[in-house]
């Protein structure tokens, strides 16, 4: 299907219409950060008196700009999921209104490749993740700017979506180029064709120019931080396995696990049994490989008792093990872990140190 054009007002009408079928989540600008909020709670923009706090309004809704604070995995691989009760598996419930997530960015969509390999691979199928992947609708968007921490291009992720979306929007100022990326997306554009028109050549050129400009911003970030390209990472972690850099980098780690929970590709979980008055309930909870007990086994043995070993393991998993078994780096260059880390451990710097040490 050829690209279409949709005016801003029509997009809002379309999203309002989609609320009959979906719970629509949209990115909201709050200072420097973007957070997802339900479209249904946004108020129309009204003039407020001094000191009034109107909550989020439609004026805070952004389609383009940069990725949201929350990784997209939050809506597909939930932080806490009941998976069994009294030894019986819990089946995923069909949602009366699945999610329609608007404005998802390319780095988070790349995260699906990692999560799909884990939760929908040949060996294991997670019914909760699979149901969410099938039910939810993704209306993604190009990045129209880049954060200083964005380095997606060094992991071969362009700052505009190429896959894993139903419809993608490119904000060209007052209107959007819309492209279908799945059968579901094509059907959506066809069903609501009254909102769309054909884009002109100049509008398509504007989108392409904007894409090139944002890519250049990301390349500048990569250059100024000396982030190595993906093809230079192969083997680097193994070659530095005994390098003191891991102990040095781990010095400021406080073992909070924020780098794991904020990451769109981190997917480790633990199963936790909770005994209530009458029922035994099993939950699947997000886990963090930086936490001391992560790898502890029955009997108390721990293969990674030192914090620096766990930090090294995080990099080994993302940049060595995962590419070996899945031909895929488990990092999308979203930069979230850089901002989240209270120890100021910068993944770009750790990768740079690994590659530099290989050269020496």
Q: Which parts of this chain interact with ligand SF4 (CB under 6 A)?
A: 253-259, 262-265, 290, 331-337, 340-343, 345, 347
**Smaller CB separation from ligand SF4, 22 or 329:** 329
Q: Residue 187 Cβ, how far from ligand SF4 at the closest point, in Å?
A: 31
**Smaller CB separation from ligand SF4, 207 or 336:** 336
Q: Residue 52 Cβ, how far from ligand SF4 at the closest point, in Å?
A: 36
Q: Residue 257 Cβ, how far from ligand SF4 at the closest point, in Å?
A: 5
Residues 312-320: contacts with CB under 8 Å, at least 24 apart: 312/237, 312/241, 312/246, 313/289, 314/259, 314/260, 314/289, 314/290, 315/237, 315/350, 315/351, 315/354, 316/237, 316/238, 316/241, 317/289, 318/265, 319/233, 319/236, 319/237, 319/351, 320/235, 320/237, 320/238
**Smaller CB separation from ligand SF4, 26 or 347:** 347
**Smaller CB separation from ligand SF4, 204 or 291:** 291
Q: Residue 144 Cβ, how far from ligand SF4 at the closest point, in Å?
A: 20
The closest of 66, 63, 100 to 175, measured between CA atoms, is 63
**Smaller CB separation from ligand SF4, 92 or 257:** 257
CB neighbour list of residue 134: distance below 8 Å, 6 or more residues apart: none
Q: Residue 143 Cβ, how far from ligand SF4 at the closest point, in Å?
A: 14
**Smaller CB separation from ligand SF4, 132 or 258:** 258
**Smaller CB separation from ligand SF4, 215 or 256:** 256
Neighbours of 254 (CB within 10 A): 12
**Smaller CB separation from ligand SF4, 4 or 73:** 73
**Smaller CB separation from ligand SF4, 233 or 290:** 290
Q: Residue 128 Cβ, how far from ligand SF4 at the closest point, in Å?
A: 22
Q: Residue 66 Cβ, how far from ligand SF4 at the closest point, in Å?
A: 13
Q: Residue 319 Cβ, how far from ligand SF4 at the closest point, in Å?
A: 9
Q: Residue 258 Cβ, how far from ligand SF4 at the closest point, in Å?
A: 4
Contact 92, 136 (CB under 8 A): no
């Amino acid at each position: 299907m050829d690209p279409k054009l949709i005016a801003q007002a029509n997009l809002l009408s379309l999203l309002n219409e989609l609320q009959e079928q979906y719970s629509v989540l949209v990115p909201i600008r709050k200072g420097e950060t973007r957070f997802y909020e339900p479209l249904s709670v946004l108020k129309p923009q009204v003039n407020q008196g001094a000191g009034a706090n109107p909550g989020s309004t439609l004026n805070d809704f952004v389609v383009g700009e940069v990725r949201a604070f929350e990784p997209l995995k939050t809506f597909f691989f939930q932080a806490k999921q009941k998976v069994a009760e009294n030894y019986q598996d819990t089946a995923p419930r069909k949602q009366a209104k699945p999610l329609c997530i608007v404005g998802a960015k390319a780095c988070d969509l790349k995260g699906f490749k990692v999560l799909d390999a884990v939760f929908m691979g040949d060996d294991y199928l997670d019914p909760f993740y699979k149901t969410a992947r099938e039910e939810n609708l993704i209306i993604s968007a190009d990045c129209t700017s880049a954060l200083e921490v964005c380095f997606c291009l060094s992991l071969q992720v362009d700052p505009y979506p190429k896959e894993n979306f139903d419809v993608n929007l490119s904000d060209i100022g007052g209107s959007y180029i819309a492209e279908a990326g799945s059968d579901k997306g094509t059907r959506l554009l066809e069903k609501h064709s009254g909102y769309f028109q054909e884009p002109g050549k100049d509008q398509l050129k504007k989108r392409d120019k904007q894409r090139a400009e944002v890519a250049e911003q990301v390349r500048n970030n990569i250059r100024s931080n000396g982030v190595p390209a993906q093809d230079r990472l192969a083997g680097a972690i193994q070659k530095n396995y005994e390098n003191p850099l891991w102990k040095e980098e781990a010095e400021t780690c406080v073992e909070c696990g924020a780098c794991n929970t904020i990451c769109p590709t981190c997917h480790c979980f633990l199963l936790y049994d909770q005994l209530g008055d009458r029922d035994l309930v099993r939950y699947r909870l997000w886990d963090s490989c930086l936490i001391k007990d992560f790898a502890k086994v029955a009997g108390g043995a721990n293969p990674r008792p030192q914090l620096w070993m766990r930090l090294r393991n995080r990099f080994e998993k993302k940049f060595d093990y995962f590419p070996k078994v899945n031909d895929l780096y488990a990092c999308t260059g979203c930069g979230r872990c850089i901002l989240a880390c209270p120890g100021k451990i910068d993944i770009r710097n750790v990768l740079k140190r690994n590659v530099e040490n290989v050269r020496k």
